[in-house]
Amino acid sequence: MGCEINKNRFCILEIASQLKNTYIRLQSFFYMNEALFQDKVAVITGAGIGIGFEIARQLATKGACVVLNDVDESVANQAVAKIQEEGGRCIAAVGDSSDLDFIQSMIDQAVINFGKLDFAIANAGSTTFGGFLDYPLERFQRLVAVNLQGTFFLAQKAANQMIKQGSGGRILVMSSAAGYQYHPELTAYGMSKAAIKFLARSLGVDLAPQGITVNAIAPGATITERTVQTEGDYANDWSRITPTGRAATTEDIANAALFLLSPAASQITGQTILIDGGWTAVSPPP
């Protein structure tokens, strides 16, 4: 009888000890996640809505200070207000991400307001559809300006600032599944997004000695304000032809971005991560 009581007491103590250890592990996991980007400083373009906004929001939630760019003033201000309401540190930089003087002013804003620059995320992109045979020059030039010029020179000016600081940094550029596979009416866009993969590959080598990693993210079909408004029955169309059975969410894309910005990814550079639910492996047209 006495032996039975001692055995039960031992079991209860053992369970209590295991619960306590689990609690401590969970607590440190969440604490680490909460503080993962504490006081890191990020500039992100085209982030008033969509993928960029979610990356900015998640960075700020985990302690980073964010300079959030959008060309649309009211969209930028609303985005900043949402992040601040959640307790994040974030300021707006309203302007065109393809303008070289404006790019430098975003870097300067990061340094003046938050003291330095750790992350540059060239997210802004122009997704303009159109058949090859009559694709107009003006549309082409705008696409090249936003997708290539804006991305290239944000990376350049951010890298110069990071090198001046001497403590490395992270640069993320935004490619697309359309830079891997044919997509109807997206030849000019796909061409620019394929070039961005090469930019990451090349800069990953150029900037490695300075401790700066450069990677690209290539989203597949992602549910955003824009895609849902402009591309028909977007979520259902893509769920039918995507191996995982759904289009991506902005959280799916932000998760990969935050991983590449985190200390866990310090040995990854020059890479492009596809986040497409397997679509490019089979790539039926939508």
Q: Which is nearer to ligand NAD, 165 or 239 (CB)?
A: 239
Residue given tokens 């604490």 in the structure block: 31
Positions marked active-site: 189
Minimum distance, C-beta of residue 222 to ligand NAD, in the bound complex (Å): 4
Minimum distance, C-beta of residue 29 to ligand NAD, in the bound complex (Å): 29
Q: Do 148 and 236 meet the contact criterion of CB atoms below 8 Å apart? A: no
Please name every residue paired with 66 in a beta bridge, in sequence order, or none if there are none.
42, 90
Q: Which is nearer to ligand NAD, 77 or 262 (CB)?
A: 77
Minimum distance, C-beta of residue 212 to ligand NAD, in the bound complex (Å): 21
Q: Do 215 and 230 meet the contact criterion of CB atoms below 8 Å apart? A: no
| Chain contacts with ligand NAD (rule: CB under 6 A) | 45-46, 48-52, 69-72, 75, 96-98, 123-127, 146, 150, 174, 176, 219, 221-222, 224, 226-227
Please state, in angstroms and rounded to a whole number, the distance separating the CA atoms of residues 218 and 51.
12
Q: Which is nearer to ligand NAD, 161 or 222 (CB)?
A: 222
Q: Which two tokens stand for residue 174?
A: 């935004």
Task: Specify burial of residue 223 (Cβ count, 10 A radius: 0-12, 13-18, 19+).
Answer: middle
Q: Which two tokens stand for residue 1?
A: 């009888």
Q: Which is nearer to ligand NAD, 126 or 210 (CB)?
A: 126
Minimum distance, C-beta of residue 243 to ligand NAD, in the bound complex (Å): 17
Please state, in angstroms and rounded to a whole number, the distance separating the CA atoms of residues 249 and 238.
12
Q: Do 215 and 273 meet the contact criterion of CB atoms below 8 Å apart? A: yes
Q: Which of 110, 241, 112 is nearest to 177 (CA)?
A: 241
- Write out the H or E segment, with its range, that includes residue 90: strand 89-94
DSSP label at residue 169: E
Q: Which two tokens stand for residue 163?
A: 């090198």
DSSP letters along 210-243, please?
Answer: GTEEEEEEEE-SB--HHHHHHSSSHHHHHHHHST
Q: Which is nearer to ligand NAD, 149 or 165 (CB)?
A: 149
Q: Which is nearer to ligand NAD, 33 or 78 (CB)?
A: 78
Minimum distance, C-beta of residue 47 to ligand NAD, in the bound complex (Å): 7
Minimum distance, C-beta of residue 168 to ligand NAD, in the bound complex (Å): 25
